[in-house]
Amino acid sequence: MAQVTRNVRVIPATIHPLSQLPIAMQRRRRVAGYARVSTDSDEQFTSYEAQVDYYTRFIQSKPEWEFVKVYTDEGISGTNTKRREGFKEMISDALAGKIDLIVTKSVSRFARNTVDSLVTIRKLKENGVECFFEKEGIYTFDGKGELLITIMSSLAQEESRSISENITWGQRKRFSDGKVSMPYKHFLGYCKGEDGQPAIVEEEAAVVRLIYRLFLEGKTQAGICKYLEGLGIPSPSGKSKWSKTTVTSILTNEKYKGDALLQKSFTVDFLEKKMKPNEGEVPQYYVERSHPHIIEPDEWDHVQAEFARRKALGNTYSGKSTLSAKLVCEDCGSFYGSKVWHSTDKYRRTIWRCNNKFSNETHCCTPTLDTETVQAQFITAYNRLMRDRRLLVEDCELMRTSLTDFALLDAQIEKAEEEANVVAELVNGLVRENASTAQSQDAYLRKYEALTQRYEAAKSELERLQKERTLRSQQDKAMALFIRTLKKQPEVLDAWDDTVWTVMVEKAIVHRDGTITFVFYNGTEIAVERQAA
């Protein structure tokens, strides 16, 4: 059979596969430029202006191109695209069909994050929009474009990682050298001094001292906010309204006592710039006396102790009076609360009564008290306490010596740790033996259960001993603070003082006959009888 000659005729493509535009259509490509610099410095601003001017001229010089605009971002990092408004506007316009080609300096100017870069380029490619990276000479519609972009983006991302690690190293070196910096713009009380170190701004420092005094006088954070707003004092950010968070931050920041805890948070993702509180993942540095203090260290410690006390009380603490949550009913152990008698007439007065006086079947028999009576009895108790301050300090120092004698406790902790480690190794050995040797599983499980019970007992004992050591350390710290406070207080108290009450008295127990037993923070108890009217 004769071979048939086939005639093949090529029908040329008429539609561009990516842009979806007719090939024969003679239309100039709509081209936009993208310029970005990563800092706000003057030098970079010059570079930024130069980039805008360059790409405007470059695009307009091509007769086959139609200039759209140059999209820009100033002072924005390229490691992700979340905050780059100019970039996002450009991509939105491109996807809306307003742009055919995007021209930019390099892959690193476009994005230093491989994922962001490739996802964006592919999205543009699907919508018929091409990108041209001038430095690398890459057109994304080129067959080898995506491979080159992947390589270049990865290199740019590694550059960002290297820069981030260098910055982190520099910061940690500053921390280890004890160099302190503050966000002065929103940090009340300090400014950057001529020597580069924190310097006190007295006008602002007075506000900080006021906040600490109000807290020790019994006010809550919300109450302090209202007080400051009433005086027309602006917040650290210059606003007329204060927030509880701001007040809490001021009251708990160790920088106000002249110390500095460095690296409280750290960056967990150099691409996203995500920060998290440092909970032991990286080193911290505590610098004592790093700069001038606004608050006396002992006063700062008193505020932290009061914070802890109020937190333990929960909603019980109201902040209406420094007597709140310190007067205790002898009969039921509940706190006394303030009540208003004759609220609508001239005999109006505030009294204190057990909050649960009538809550139980048997009513509490402890009396109601007025504020003046409690205050007078406290002044008597205080003056009795201070009759021989020297002897009292000596007794407290002896208590500290007893609290800090950890020899026996440390030996017990070491023994418990050794027991836990030995049993843990026995458990591991038993498991390995069972995995490698055939044996009765019932016998294995009995041994395993006995060992795990022994391990849990050792672990429980170790935790108990460690908690006891921590508690004694805390008690010693509290006792040391009490001694320093004791030495600073007047020997004779003539009038009521909210701060003295707050820093000296743990609680005051009200008895049925009106006697009040004042329990001071060193454990001393002084009972004062109710004075005759």
Average pLDDT over residues 272-292: 70
- Percent residues over pLDDT 70 in the chain: 78
Residue 284 has pLDDT above 50, yes or no: yes
Sheet holding 138-139, edge to edge: 65-73, 29-36, 101-104, 130-133, 138-139
- What's the mean pLDDT when you consider all of the chain? 82
According to the model, what pLDDT value does residue 42 have? 43
According to the model, what pLDDT value does residue 264 have? 61
Residue 37 near residue 48, CB atoms below 8 Å:
yes
Residue 277 has pLDDT above 80, yes or no: no
According to the model, what pLDDT value does residue 287 have? 80
Residue 478 has pLDDT above 50, yes or no: yes
Task: Report DSSP letters for 176-217, one per residue.
Answer: HTT-----GGG-TTEEE-TTSSEEE-HHHHHHHHHHHHHHHT
| Nearest of 386, 391, 402, 399 to residue 486 by alpha carbon | 386
pLDDT classification of 6: cutoffs 50, 70, 90 = low
According to the model, what pLDDT value does residue 280 have? 61
The CATH superfamily of 29-165 is: Resolvase, N-terminal catalytic domain (3.40.50.1390)
pLDDT classification of 270: cutoffs 50, 70, 90 = very low
The helix-helix angle for 441-488 and 297-313 (nearest 10°) equals 130
Of residues 399 and 183, more confidently modeled: 399
Q: Which two tokens stand for residue 261?
A: 């805890």
According to the model, what pLDDT value does residue 158 have? 62
pLDDT classification of 252: cutoffs 50, 70, 90 = very high
| Nearest of 68, 119, 118 to residue 97 by alpha carbon | 68
Cα separation, 377 vs 97, whole angstroms: 84
Q: Helix (H, G, I), strand (E, B), or coil: what is residue 357?
A: coil
Average pLDDT over residues 122-140: 86
Residue 529 has pLDDT above 70, yes or no: yes
Residue 498 has pLDDT above 80, yes or no: yes
pLDDT classification of 251: cutoffs 50, 70, 90 = very high
- Lowest mean pLDDT: which of 15-19, 106-110, 262-266, 364-368? 15-19
Cα separation, 489 vs 389, whole angstroms: 10
Cβ of 486: how many Cβ atoms within 10 Å? 19
- Lowest mean pLDDT: which of 68-77, 332-341, 380-389, 508-517? 68-77
pLDDT digits (tens, 9 = 90+) for 133-150: 888 788 888 766 666 666
According to the model, what pLDDT value does residue 45 have? 44
Cβ of 405: how many Cβ atoms within 10 Å? 11
Residue 343 has pLDDT above 90, yes or no: no
What CA–CA distances, in Å, run from 493 to 257, 387, 429? 27, 11, 68
Residue 83 has pLDDT above 70, yes or no: no
184-314: CATH topology is: Hect, E3 ligase catalytic domain fold (3.90.1750)
Of residues 115 and 475, more confidently modeled: 475
According to the model, what pLDDT value does residue 406 have? 92
Residue 279 has pLDDT above 70, yes or no: no
Cβ of 411: how many Cβ atoms within 10 Å? 11
DSSP conformational letter for 368: P
According to the model, what pLDDT value does residue 74 have? 75
According to the model, what pLDDT value does residue 143 have? 65
Average pLDDT over residues 10-29: 60
Average pLDDT over residues 457-481: 91
Average pLDDT over residues 344-373: 86
Cβ of 207: how many Cβ atoms within 10 Å? 19
Q: Helix (H, G, I), strand (E, B), or coil: what is residue 130?
A: strand
Average pLDDT over residues 201-219: 92
pLDDT digits (tens, 9 = 90+) for 34-77: 988 764 444 444 567 788 888 899 999 988 899 999 998 876 55
Print burial letters for 7-34: b (CB count within 10 Å at least 16), e (below 16): eeeeeeeeeeeebeeeeeeeeebbbbbb
Residue 437 has pLDDT above 60, yes or no: yes
According to the model, what pLDDT value does residue 201 have? 92
pLDDT digits (tens, 9 = 90+) for 375-397: 999 999 999 999 988 999 999 99
Paired sense of beta strands 285-287 and 260-262, if any: antiparallel
pLDDT classification of 374: cutoffs 50, 70, 90 = very high
Cα separation, 8 vs 6, whole angstroms: 6
